[in-house]
Amino acid sequence: MKTTFSIGDVSYQAELQHGHDLSLAVALQGPRAWYVDNPKIEAVMTDRFTGSVARGGSVNFYDVCFNPHGHGTHTECLGHITPQKESVNDALQSFFLTARLITLEPATLSSDRSEWVRAGDRVILPEQLANAMGKAPVQALIVRTLPNPESRREKNYSSTNPAYFLPESMDWLNSFGIEHLLTDLPSVDREEDGGRLEAHHRFWNVPHNPQKHKTITELIYVPHQVVDGLYLLNLQVAALENDAAPSRPVIYPALPI
């Protein structure tokens, strides 16, 4: 099955049987962050019901307890940082998006820039984004960071001070017209930043001019064999009324016609 679409003035096609799944599942041994324990997946057991076939029940019927921000790939909306409740279920209205995949090695800062941007931190700089982006206008940017070990699939990021995006990098993304940002990092902000979340605020322009349609997807995994370039992105998000929900980004190579 093929579909055709345009990026700027150029027409492309994508073969929908050749997609790359960038998601990491909510799983007992999956990735986690923000000091949460592993998710809990337990059979419902009552005096009248056994929710496990292995334990004698007629069906498997499990409770699943997890945190969308802390377990697996998830997509979030500006409701992550606003006092009023906003749902990612309302934010994303288009599920097929033009996208570019880029690969960057975060820069290591040699000196402190502020109280919460410190020497030794690994950061995504605006000039790195500008150099990697190319000129084709796309709706979504997918950022793979190096190193990119397979161990990311099960990594506990808590207390590791992962790489993050400088607020100025978000300004650059906004100027380029990026509406959906996908990253393999657990957050676009520093793990410990005094609650500022400045990169989130800059991307969504909160509180000055909130951009309710924009999304950030974190904790993706882009395998090594997936090459940088233009793609058609199918951003699948669970129908959950919350600021964030588990998601499955699938990308299809954009082939010029």
In CATH, what number is assigned to the domain containing residue 116? 3.50.30.50
Q: Dump pLDDT digits (tens) for 42-69.
A: 999 999 999 999 999 999 999 999 999 9
Measured CA angle at 171 (ends 195, 162), to 5 deg: 45
For residue 72, what is the DSSP state?
Answer: S
24, pLDDT greater than 90:
yes
Token reading at 53: 């076939």
Q: Which residue has 């790939």 as its token pair?
A: 73
Confidence of residue 188 (pLDDT cuts 50, 70, 90): very high
Q: Is the pLDDT of residue 8 over 90?
A: no
Percent of the chain with pLDDT over 70: 100
Give the β-pairing of 164-165 and 122-124: parallel
d(CA 154, CA 151): 6
Cis amide prior to 147 (ω within 30 degrees)? yes
pLDDT of 135: 87
Mean local confidence (pLDDT), 209-219: 98
Place of tokens 């007992």: 28
Domain contains 49: no
Distance, in Å, from the CA atom of 152 to the CA atom of 227, rounded to the nearest integer, reads: 18
Distance CA 92, CA 211 (A): 12
pLDDT in tens, 92-151: 989 999 999 999 999 999 999 999 999 999 999 999 999 999 888 999 999 999 999 999
Answer whether residue 38 is part of any domain. no
Amino acid at 186: P
d(C-alpha 15, C-alpha 52), whole Å? 40
Give the CA count within 13 Å in the CB-facing half-sphere of 85: 5
State the total domains in the chain: 1
> Does 36 fall in a domain?
no
- State how far the Cα of 217 lies from the Cα of 205, in Å rounded to an integer: 17
For residue 239, is it within any domain?
A: yes
| Mean pLDDT value across residues 215-238 | 98
Residue 32: inside a domain: no
72: pLDDT strictly greater than 90: yes
Q: What b/e sequence results for 45-57 when a residue is b if at least 16 CB atoms lie within 10 Å of its CB, and e otherwise?
A: eeeeebbbeeeee
The answer, yes or no, to whether residue 178 has pLDDT greater than 90, is yes
pLDDT of residue 133: 93
**Cβ–Cβ under 8 Å, residues 48 and 57:** no
Cis peptide before 167 (omega within 30 of 0): no
Q: Which residues pair with 251 in a beta bridge?
A: 20, 233
Residue 78 in this model has a pLDDT that exceeds 90: yes
- For 12, the domain range is 2-25+68-256
Looking at residue 239, its pLDDT comes to 97
Give the pTM: 0.97
Q: What is the DSSP string of 106-141?
A: PEEPSS--BTTB-TT-EEE-HHHHHHHH-SS--SEE
Q: Is residue 240 part of a domain?
A: yes
Report yes or no on 54 lying in a domain.
Answer: no
% of the chain beyond a pLDDT of 90: 96
Q: Mean pLDDT across the stretch 207-221? A: 98
> Do the bridges between strand 215-218 and strand 180-183 make them parallel or antiparallel, or are there none, so unpaired?
parallel
Please give the Cα distance from 232 to 251 (Å, whole number): 6
Is 30 domain-assigned?
A: no
